Amino acid sequence: MADPIPSRTESVNPFPEHFGRGHRPRKLAAAAWFGLAFLLLAMATTAGPLSLWWLGIDQIISSREFASGYNGGLVLGGILLTLASVKCFVHAKRLRSPSALEILASEHRPPVVYFRPFTADVKAKPRGLSTTTEEEAIAYALNDIGPLIAIGAPEETLPSLGAARMYVENEKWREAVLDLLGRAVVVIMRIGSTPGFWWEFETVMQRVKPEKLVLLIPRDQALYEEFRLASHNLMPTALPALTGLDRSWMPRKWATSNLLKAVILFDSKWAASVVDVQTLRLPLLRRGGRKGMAPVLRMALRPVYQNAGLRWIGPPINRETVFILGYAIVSMVGLVVGLTIWLSYR
C-alpha cells in the first residue's frame, strides 16, 4: 500500500536533534507592549490640544518666555514619546516572532535560508523612527518563494526581527547548516569575515547551485574587497570590483552603513551580475514605506523568482504614500479655496 501523501500542515522532514530548540512566541506580552506603544503615541499626538485646552490660549500667549518654553517642551516631549512608542512597538514585534521550527513544521514550501555573521544582527537593527529592519525587508521581498529561516545568535534573549530563528548548540551548528542547505530553495548570504561565515561560504559553494545563491553586499568597501580577494580561490569565476560602497550624502558618523549597497546574483556558469539597490529607482507610489527596502529588493531579486520557477509579481502600490499624497492634495485644495474665499470678502 502506498504511503499517504503528507498534508500541507505536516512537517516536510522530521526535525533532527542538531536543529536544537525553537522559542515560544509570547503573544500576551507582545499585546501588552503593543498597547503601551499605541498609548505613548496617543499621548504624543494629543499632548498639544489637551495642554492648550487645560492652560488656555490666553495664558500661553501672555508672555513670550512662557510661550517659548511651552512650545519647546511640547516638541521635545512629543519627540521623546514618539521614540519610546517606536521602541515599544519593535520590542512587541520581537516578542511575537515565530520560531523557525514552527514554520518548518507548518509550511509546505521549502525555506529560503539566510546566513550572515551574527554582528550583522546588531548593525541592522531599526534606528530612529524606523520599525522595519533590513532583514525584514529581505523576508518581505522573498516571501512568495518561501519563509526566511536563520540560525539565531546563542546569546540573544529575544529573536531579531526578520528571519525566523532556531537556536543550536555550538558543537552542532555545522550539522544544522548542512541540513538547512539540503532543504533550501534559495540561499541568501550577507558577506562577512568571521571564521564561521567562511566555513558556511565554502560549504555553500560545494553544495548549492549558483542560480540559487544570492550575495548581499553592505556599504563597506574594505569588507567587500577583503571578501572578493579571499573568495577568489573558492569560486570558479572572480567577483567584480565595486567602488563607492562607503559613499553617502550624510557625514560618515551618521551614515546608514548598515544598509545594503548591492545584490550579486549568478547564472548557471557562475557569471556574476550586480544590482545596485541604492540607485535602483521605483515609481513613486511603489516605494518603501513601512517595508523599507523590500520593494527595491523585490525588483532586484526578480531572477531568483524565475530560477525557482515562480511567477514574479512587482512591488504593490504603497498605500501610505497614496494616503500622504491624497492628504497633501486635499490640504492644498482646501488652502487655495480658503484663500480665494477670504480674498473675495476683503
* φ/ψ of residue 74, rounded to 5: -65, -45
Which runs of consecutive H residues, i.e. helices, occur in the chain? Answer: 27-55, 57-60, 64-95, 100-106, 119-123, 134-141, 173-183, 195-207, 221-230, 294-300, 302-307, 319-344
Look at the alpha carbons of 31, 258, 238, 271 in this order and tell me if their dihedral is positive or negative. positive
DSSP characters over 250-275? S-GGG--TTSEEEEEEE-TT--EEEE
Residue 58 — very low, low, confident or very high, per pLDDT cuts 50/70/90?
low
Model pLDDT, residue 157: 80
Task: Compute the distance between CA of residue 295 and CA of residue 320 in angstroms, rounded to an integer.
Answer: 14
Q: Is the pTM of this model over 0.85?
A: no
Whether the predicted pLDDT of 53 surpasses 80? no
Distance CA 298, CA 24 (A): 30
Write the pLDDT tens digit of every residue in 322-335: 777 777 788 788 77
And the C-alpha cell for 131?
Answer: 520599525
* pLDDT at position 264 over 80: yes
> Percent of the chain having pLDDT more than 70?
73
pLDDT band at 188 (very low <50, low <70, confident <90, very high): very high
With 60 as the cut, is the pLDDT of residue 7 above it?
A: no
Q: What is the pLDDT of residues 199-241, one digit of tens each?
A: 999 999 999 999 999 999 988 888 999 999 998 889 888 888 8
Q: Quickly state the pLDDT bin for 3 (edges 50, 70, 90).
A: very low
